[in-house]
């Protein structure tokens, strides 16, 4: 029995199964996954879940403290903060997921193409990557948004651009090492094309690492969106965004602390959820941490 356990398990299926098991055993990751699922649900069902309209104003009730009817209180226009927090999930997830999808695909393509083409293309692409990586994400995002002006799609593109070099750096290394492995030579020898090699042999080998990066960067993208909104570069009102709400609330921190604190709590939990998933994925994929 003990001996059977010591036998090396081989083949992709057993390996994948073991990783899945490791991920499931990792309770923090599971908590993160449940939280992400809940957030998605909240974003989709926002109109059903919101007790009030997120934009209906009522100035005589401005800055009312939390009550049974309005559990998170009201903001400076008398709007229901709970409903606005619920609707804010939409912008946060939309920006987080789309910017990572765009930046992730662009970066991965950049890194893999650089590894495959080699030579001058590789040199230039990776140099560009390094230069872009030198800048903190917030500063890059700020500069791009400052020049382009505010807007939902501009926000997504600005964040995607800051994410692109992170993926190209991560995708490049493994793509390079997989490219030099014998099975790729073998595939090429029997006449398999570049694209097929890419999809059949390169991507499956780096997909785990890319998934970890994707969930950690979704967390960062959501943080970035909120930070940029907080600075005042976000999507324009009346669309509720957490960063904007926190910003508007700072003025009333002494007389109406709930105004900033509740949207901030939602933001914190959302970022935490994606970080938990990314961390759990990394632990499950990394054989070293399982020892």
At its nearest, how many Å lie between other proteins and the CB of residue 175? 23
Q: Is 279 in the site for other proteins (CB under 8 A)?
A: yes
Which DSSP symbol is given to 149? -
Residue 81 contacts residue 128 (beta carbons within 8 Å): no
**How far is residue 9's CA from residue 280's CA, in Å, rounded to a whole number?**
22
Q: Is 267 in the site for other proteins (CB under 8 A)?
A: yes
Q: Is 230 in the site for other proteins (CB under 8 A)?
A: yes
Q: How many CB atoms lie within 10 A of CB 145?
A: 20
Q: Which of 70, 85, 264, 281 binds other proteins (CB under 8 A)?
A: 264
Q: Is 143 in the site for other proteins (CB under 8 A)?
A: yes
Closest CA to 103 of 171, 44, 51: 171
Q: Is 65 in the site for other proteins (CB under 8 A)?
A: no
At its nearest, how many Å lie between other proteins and the CB of residue 247? 8
Q: Which of 83, 108, 129, 260 binds other proteins (CB under 8 A)?
A: 260
Q: Which of 138, 152, 187, 192 binds other proteins (CB under 8 A)?
A: 138
Distance spanning both ends of the chain, measured CA to CA: 20
**How far is residue 199's CA from residue 114's CA, in Å, rounded to a whole number?**
16
At its nearest, how many Å lie between other proteins and the CB of residue 147? 4
178 versus 228: smaller Cβ distance to other proteins:
228
Q: Which of 136, 173, 204, 237 binds other proteins (CB under 8 A)?
A: 136
**How far is residue 38's CA from residue 196's CA, in Å, rounded to a whole number?**
37
At its nearest, how many Å lie between other proteins and the CB of residue 291? 8
178 versus 234: smaller Cβ distance to other proteins:
234
Q: Is 193 in the site for other proteins (CB under 8 A)?
A: no
Omega before residue 238 within 30° of 0, cis: yes
Q: Is 237 in the site for other proteins (CB under 8 A)?
A: no
Q: Is 33 in the site for other proteins (CB under 8 A)?
A: no
**How far is residue 247's CA from residue 236's CA, in Å, rounded to a whole number?**
13
81 versus 144: smaller Cβ distance to other proteins:
144
Closest CA to 218 of 183, 289, 166: 166
Nearest-10 crossing angle of helices 81-117, 242-250: 130
Closest CA to 161 of 131, 185, 191, 205: 131
Residues in touch with other proteins (CB under 8 A) = 28, 127-128, 130-132, 134-139, 142-144, 146-149, 219, 223, 226-227, 230-233, 246, 250, 253-254, 257, 260-261, 264, 267-268, 271-272, 275-276, 279, 291
């Amino acid at each position: 029995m003990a001996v059977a356990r010591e036998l090396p398990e081989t083949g992709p299926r057993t390996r994948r199964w073991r990783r899945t098991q490791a991920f499931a055993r990792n309770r923090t990751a599971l908590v993160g996954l449940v939280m992400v699922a809940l957030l998605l649900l909240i974003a989709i069902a926002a109109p059903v879940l919101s007790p009030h309209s997120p934009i209906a104003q009522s100035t005589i009730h401005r800055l009312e403290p939390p009550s049974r009817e309005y559990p998170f209180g009201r903001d400076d226009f008398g709007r229901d903060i709970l409903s606005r927090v619920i609707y804010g999930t939409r912008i946060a997830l939309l920006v987080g997921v789309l910017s990572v999808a765009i930046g992730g695909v662009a970066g991965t393509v950049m890194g893999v193409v650089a590894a495959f083409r080699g030579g001058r293309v590789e040199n230039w692409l990776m140099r560009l990557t390094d230069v872009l990586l030198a800048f903190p994400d917030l500063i890059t995002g700020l500069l791009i948004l400052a020049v382009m002006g505010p807007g939902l799609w501009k926000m997504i593109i600005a964040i995607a651009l800051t994410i692109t070099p992170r993926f190209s750096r991560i995708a490049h290394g493994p793509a390079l090492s997989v490219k030099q492995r014998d099975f790729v030579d073998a595939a090429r020898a029997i006449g398999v094309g570049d694209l097929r090699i890419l999809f059949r042999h390169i991507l499956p080998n780096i997909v785990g690492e890319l998934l970890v990066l994707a969930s950690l960067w979704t967390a960062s993208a959501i943080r970035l969106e909120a930070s940029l909104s907080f600075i005042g570069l976000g999507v324009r009102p009346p669309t509720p965004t957490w960063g904007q709400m926190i910003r508007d609330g700072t003025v009333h921190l002494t007389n109406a602390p709930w105004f900033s604190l509740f949207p901030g709590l939602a933001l914190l939990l959302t970022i935490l959820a994606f970080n938990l998933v990314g961390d759990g994925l990394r632990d499950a994929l990394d054989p070293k941490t399982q020892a």
